[in-house]
Amino acid sequence: MGLLENTLVLGAIIAAIFIFGTLILFSRWYKKATQGQALIRTGVGGLKVSFNGMLVVPVLHRLEVMDISLKSFTLERMEKEGLICKDNMRADIKVTFFIKVNQKEEAVKTVAQSIGTARASDRELLIQLFDAKFSEALKTVGKRFDFEELYSERNKFKSAMLEEIGEELNGYFLEGAAIDYLEQTKIQHLNPENILDSQGIRKITELTAEQHKKTNQLQRDEEKEITRQNVEAKETVLDLERQLADKEANQRKDVSSIKARTQSEIEK
């Protein structure tokens, strides 16, 4: 009976040590992902992806961490490289794009296998990957809008550009974009020997001349209105002065008549 009890106690101790050791190993081998990270495990069991946590056993597995947080980069089309609009006017524009690795297992696997985990969200790499595609979309959509329409309907332009690019980009996801700067390219940066720029120069010149005419006409109209108001004010003042003079003359006449009657009565 004593031997059995000793055996049970020993077994319980061994089991407790085993469980405790397992828990320690599990706590050390279990890796958790933080916000904006994806865990990628390779080795026994193949490539596995988790956005929460997973068990990584030394020797059997290798763990890599991919940054999948939102990143941004800006495309600029300025001066001689300004965006050509439908009416061949150029626009200086800066657009910031917001992009990240799509939070899906297949997307993370695609990026990991094609680019690697370390540089997946490197800003310079993102520019290399998407500059040409985004620039082409910018040019394509820009040719659908006259400059004035582009300037006044930025949201419409932005929506059309995002639709042109699409959301799925080989494992990446385009979250959105923001137009940070948009102005007409100054005429001194245009090339008159370029047929598109020459048309833009002509339109800018025509619009500028027309605006000058309108501005001049408004100024002349304003001067006329001021003069008319001054004339009306002067006429009103003169009319009031004439009415006052008439009243004073009538009053003097009445006073003279009263004096004359009074004097006549006295003499009688």
CA torsion, points 133, 137, 139, 143, in degrees to nearest 10? 160
Mean pLDDT throughout 181-189?
85
Predicted confidence (pLDDT) at residue 1 exceeds the cutoff of 60: no
Distance CA 164, CA 155 (A): 14
Confidence of residue 164 (pLDDT cuts 50, 70, 90): very high
DSSP 118-177: TTTT-HHHHHHHHHHHHHHHHHHHHTTS-HHHHHH-HHHHHHHHHHHH-SEETTEEEEEE
Domain boundaries, the chain: 2-67, 71-189
Distance CA 87, CA 185 (A): 13
What's residue 204's pLDDT? 62
pTM, two decimals, is 0.67
Confidence of residue 92 (pLDDT cuts 50, 70, 90): very high
Mean pLDDT throughout 226-241?
84
What's residue 28's pLDDT? 74
DSSP 212-230: HHHHHHHHHHHHHHHHHHH
Compute the radius of gyration of the chain from its Cα atoms.
Answer: 43
What's residue 136's pLDDT? 93
Give, in order, the Cα–Cα distances in Å from 181 to each of 92, 98, 169, 185, 187: 7, 16, 25, 12, 18
CA torsion, points 92, 202, 218, 149, in degrees to nearest 10? -40
Say which residue the tokens 């929506």 belong to.
159
Q: Dig out the tokens for 124 from the structure.
A: 């310079």
| Beta-sheet strands, E only, within the chain | 30-32, 37-43, 48-50, 53-55, 61-67, 71-77, 83-84, 90-101, 168-169, 172-184
Confidence of residue 69 (pLDDT cuts 50, 70, 90): very high
Percent of the chain scored above 70 by pLDDT?
82
pLDDT digits (tens, 9 = 90+) for 113-147: 888 888 888 988 999 999 999 999 999 999 999 98
Q: Dig out the tokens for 33 from the structure.
A: 């992902």
Say which residue the tokens 């004359």 belong to.
260
Architecture of the domain whose range is 71-189:
2-Layer Sandwich (3.30)
Confidence of residue 22 (pLDDT cuts 50, 70, 90): low
Distance CA 150, CA 146 (A): 6
Of the listed ranges 22-26, 90-94, 140-144, the least confidently predicted one is 22-26
Closest CA to 84 of 144, 153, 149: 144
Confidence of residue 221 (pLDDT cuts 50, 70, 90): confident
83 CB neighbour count, 10 Å cutoff? 25
What is the three-class DSSP state of 180? strand
User: Quick check: 161 and 136 in contact, CB under 8 A?
Assistant: no
The rounded mean pLDDT for the chain is 83
What's residue 172's pLDDT? 94
Q: How many residues does the chain have?
A: 268
Determine the residue type at 262. Answer: T
What's residue 185's pLDDT? 86
Predicted confidence (pLDDT) at residue 246 exceeds the cutoff of 80: no
